[in-house]
Amino acid sequence: MKKEGHPAYRLVVFKDPSADFAFLTRSTARTKETILWEDGKEYPLVKLEISSASHPFFTGKQKFVDTARRVDKFMARYGKKKK
């Protein structure tokens, strides 16, 4: 196999800034940023928008959706009119 044909598989830190959560794992993700990790070494940094620390499925915190008002709007717009 050609060495230059494959991306570098290396240790990378993934960070979710909204939850202040980070983890170190191996990846081929390319990034220009770096971060100083807990072991004193510098690793490439990939910022995440959502992770297990901030996703509602894992945290159990759901956003409240006003479904009653949505149903009322739908019925007012498309429901059967009373005679």
* Nearest C-alpha neighbor of 7 from the set 26, 35, 25: 26
The tokens 């709007």 sit on which residue? 73
Q: What is the dihedral of CA 46, 37, 59, 56, to 10 degrees?
A: -10
| Residue range 1-10: mean pLDDT, rounded | 80
* Nearest C-alpha neighbor of 22 from the set 10, 32, 9, 34: 34
Please tell me whether residue 29 adopts helix, strand or coil conformation: coil
pLDDT tens track for 26-71:
999 999 999 999 999 999 999 988 777 776 655 556 555 556 677 7
